[in-house]
Amino acid sequence: MSALANHAFAKMNGIGNEIVVVDLRDAPGAVTAADARAVASQLPYDQLMVLQPPRLAGTEAFVRIYNNDGSEAGACGNGMRCVVQRLFEATGGRAVTFETAAGLLNCWPGPSPELYTVDMGVPKFGWQDIPLAEEFRDTRYIELQIGPIDAPVLHSPSVVSMGNPHAIFWVDDVEAHDLARFGPLLENHPIFPERANITLAHIIDRDHITIRTWERGAGLTRACGSAACATAVAAARLKRANRIVRIMLPGGELSIEWRERDDHVLMTGPASFEYEGRFDPALFASVA
């Protein structure tokens, strides 16, 4: 039987990102891709955040992150804020470090109640680190387009890794393109061997950017924290935005700082609790 059967969960929300948090630190067990898909079939979510016992001294937990198609993600900024909110509410803590597949993430309360900051680490720009299927020496723009070669609908994205691969297409209006149509094509383009998060971004001014994202393994989403971080970094690399910006997403707003002294990306935003429940064991009866 699945480790999730009859286990408690918390349904959370990170500016429109639908998050489910499960704490398995006291009852460790393996969670499979099939388990994650079974949960999504009854409890729609963008990411499932599973806390496992810590593997490294000084960390609170090892967090495995599942997309709703059962695939695993290396990072989820909105999900991490939800985990932090849940933990701080229970313990009164003021700082915590988690381990994820993307590395260590330090988290702390934000500048006002209900705001939380996650240090998302250092972005990666090398084509092998993102990764891409072929060499591009300058990843501020790469050769990739959708539509006719002489009149592409989308073209020349910036690419960056924030623990997961991101492609950012610069547009005049993020609502003017059918992201639900183009997103799956671009997510699964051969240039991205591990697939990619696809973002449309409009730079309003040097302090404000609007985005919409098709999230790898989750689809069209109201919010993607790592995409907001990737967009902020990509815009700063192009010298089209400052290193501290406000990112407007369909579900809300995030503050992103690409810290100059160490190149770490800090994401600050809200997280909210919706309800608690327990997984029905019948949900996993057919899971092999």
pLDDT, tens digit only, all 288 positions of the chain: 788 989 999 999 999 999 999 999 998 788 999 999 999 988 999 999 999 999 999 999 999 999 999 999 888 899 999 999 999 988 888 899 999 998 999 999 999 888 999 999 999 999 999 999 999 999 999 999 998 888 899 999 999 999 999 999 999 999 999 999 999 999 999 999 999 999 999 999 999 999 999 999 999 999 999 999 999 999 999 999 999 999 999 999 999 999 999 999 999 999 999 999 999 988 888 775
Q: Which helix (H) or strand (E) holds 102?
A: none
State the DSSP H helix or E strand holding residue 232, giving kind and residue range, or none if neither.
helix 225-237
Q: What's residue 129's pLDDT?
A: 97
The predicted pLDDT at position 288 comes to 58
Give the C-alpha separation, 61 to 97, whole Å. Answer: 8
In the prediction, which pLDDT does 91 show?
Answer: 87
In whole angstroms, what is the distance from residue 168 CA to residue 219 CA? 15
**In contact, 270 and 252? CB cutoff 8 Å:** yes
- Which residue of the set 82, 107, 224, 229 is catalytic? 224
Known active-site residue 76: yes
- Catalytic site residue from 76, 82, 107, 229: 76
Provide the b/e sequence for 66-90 (b: ≥16 CB within 10 Å).
bbbebbbbbbbbbbbbbbbbbbbee
pLDDT at 285: 82
pLDDT at res. 92:
85
Quick check: is 82 catalytic? no
Angle between helices 225-237 and 77-91 (to 10 degrees): 120
Assess contact for 160 and 166: CB atoms under 8 A.
yes
